[in-house]
Amino acid sequence: MIPESELSDPAVRALVAAINANDHAAFRRALTADATMSDDGAERDLEKWSEREIFSSHGHMDVESESDDGHHLIARFTNATWGQMRTSWRFTVADGKVSRFDTGQA
């Protein structure tokens, strides 16, 4: 596992740290105001998705590997709804914040 403190990209590191701390305010600060996302190839409402999949269900990421300068992660994502699954996360970073992420099963 790669500790979140050792993730290469500071914006991605801040987002993963916010997820793992279950810190909604830090999560929003790590994103651009117009951030978007997809889950398993389907566009999702970021606020509704993050509340359901991360915050109300205590989502947590254990990062297995990173590539593409830290913009692609393979992680074991666990939450109270789905249990644990191996997931892929791709991040687009703009001006030091995550402007988009795409996640899905790896």
- Could you give all domains of the chain from N- to C-terminal order, each with its CATH number? 4-105 (3.10.450.50)
Q: How far apart are CA 59 and CA 47, in angstroms?
A: 14
Instruction: Give the three-class secondary structure for 22.
Output: coil
Are the CB atoms for 27 and 54 separated by under 8 Å? yes
Q: What is the pLDDT of residues 20-47, one digit of tens each?
A: 999 999 999 999 999 999 999 999 999 9
Phi, psi of 101 (to 5 degrees): -140, 150
Q: Specify the DSSP class assigned to residue 41.
A: T
pTM (2 d.p.)? 0.96
Q: What is the pLDDT of residues 42-73, one digit of tens each?
A: 999 999 999 999 999 999 999 999 999 999 99
